[in-house]
Structure 1
């Protein structure tokens, strides 16, 4: 297919396709003339993934290139590649590790241990969770910790369903694209469903509007 067809198939403008190609996110097409190239389904999949990483996942071009390079490089398993992508999607920030933070860290590690989760200490989501729990402690919302277990249980069930669905895609690029999009947009979906459910539960408890 020509670049115009590639653009139509993926919804990515031609200038963006050329930019991603120059930056090494998408391989160049097969040259058929001085100013023409032919593209195939591998370009469609890679372009969709590159777009998901940059436009949905919010990765920089350099970070997206790193993830895509990992996919095509030797030595990494599917699990390691997905882990690298997930870590890249999770924001990192400087933090002050005071006594409250260390207490929250111990609580997070206890949950991970109790549920038998095999996760690396370097997972940036661990730090994000610790920050949130430490803030709850500082604000005096200690009662929130009574529902931390159910939160973890719900997250585990949801993760199992998500991974099962992702694995049905078969190829690594499809799995990785799903991981990126679901990680970026799934948070919004989950938060919105939670707010709707909270309104419904409050209505049940306190009466209709």
Structure 2
């Protein structure tokens, strides 16, 4: 396909494609003449992955280049490739510095769940930050509540991976995982808000107030 068709199929403007080519994060197409090239399905998949990392994941081009170089290493399994991509997507933005007790609670939590984890994964530090934030705000999360959250989130994660697991290429899986992780965080937050409204109404509105609120 020519670059115009590549642009249409991938949903990426031609000037952006040319920029990615110059930056070396999109492979060159097969030359067909002066200043012309032919592109294939692999270019569509790569562009969609780049778009997911840049537009949805918010990663700078330099980081995207590093990620793409890492996942291109021969012999890497899909689990490792997914991990390399997921590590780069920001988790929490805060100035809170967790204490050792917060880090110990984070490690104890994932160990208690029987979850496979890496000590140096950004998610471990992010969990410690969140625990520290709750503690400093005067609303610490107790272990029983954490365990109930874990049981619920395991169901969410199964849905996440069921949605991407059947895609035919690893780049499609990586693109979908990056996009669905970032957008899925927003979706989960919105659904949580809606469910909180419903649960609050069930607990704290009497029948007349509930009926009146529904009518309004």
**Is the Cα–Cα contact under 8 Å of residues 53 and 59 in structure 1 kept in the other structure?**
yes
Bigger CA drift: 180-189 or 63-72?
63-72
User: Are residue 56 (structure 1) and residue 56 (structure 2) matched?
Assistant: yes
State the match for 1:189 in structure 2: 187
Q: Deviations over 1:80-126 (max 9, x none)?
A: 111111101135877635xxx22222221111111111110111011
Q: Deviation of residue 60 (structure 1)? A: 1.1
**Is the Cα–Cα contact under 8 Å of residues 9 and 44 in structure 1 kept in the other structure?**
yes
Find the aligned partners of 2:104 and 2:147 in 1 and give their Cα distance. 14
**Is the Cα–Cα contact under 8 Å of residues 59 and 89 in structure 1 kept in the other structure?**
yes
Q: Deviations over 1:128-185 (max 9, x none)?
A: 1111111111121136654211111111221123223321113111110111001111
Find the aligned partners of 2:152 and 2:91 in 1 and give their Cα distance. 23
User: Which of 140, 151, 154 is the aligned partner of 2:152?
Assistant: 154
Q: Deviations over 1:33-83 (max 9, x none)?
A: 112111111111111111111111111111111221223222422211111
SS at structure 1 position matched to 2:97: coil
Bigger CA drift: 111-120 or 101-110?
101-110
CA RMSD of aligned residues (A): 1.8
State the match for 2:47 in structure 1: 47
User: Which of 173, 180, 198 is the aligned partner of 2:196?
Assistant: 198
The runs of at least 4 aligned residues of structure 1 exceeding 4 Å deviation read 91-95, 143-146
Bigger CA drift: 46-55 or 71-80?
71-80
Find the aligned partners of 2:83 and 2:167 in 1 and give their Cα distance. 17
User: Are residue 169 (structure 1) and residue 172 (structure 2) matched?
Assistant: no
State the match for 1:15 in structure 2: 15
**Is the Cα–Cα contact under 8 Å of residues 52 and 175 in structure 2 kept in the other structure?**
yes
Alignment CA distance shift 1:95-1:57 (3 Å): same
**Is the Cα–Cα contact under 8 Å of residues 92 and 124 in structure 1 kept in the other structure?**
no
Bigger CA drift: 194-203 or 65-74?
65-74
Runs (5+) with no aligned partner, structure 1: none
SS at structure 2 position matched to 1:26: coil
- Matches of residues 98-117 of structure 1 in structure 2 within 5 Å? 101-117=99-115
Find the aligned partners of 2:79 and 2:141 in 1 and give their Cα distance. 36
Q: Deviations over 1:10-41 (max 9, x none)?
A: 11110000001111111111111112111111
State the match for 1:120 in structure 2: 118
State the match for 2:87 in structure 1: 87
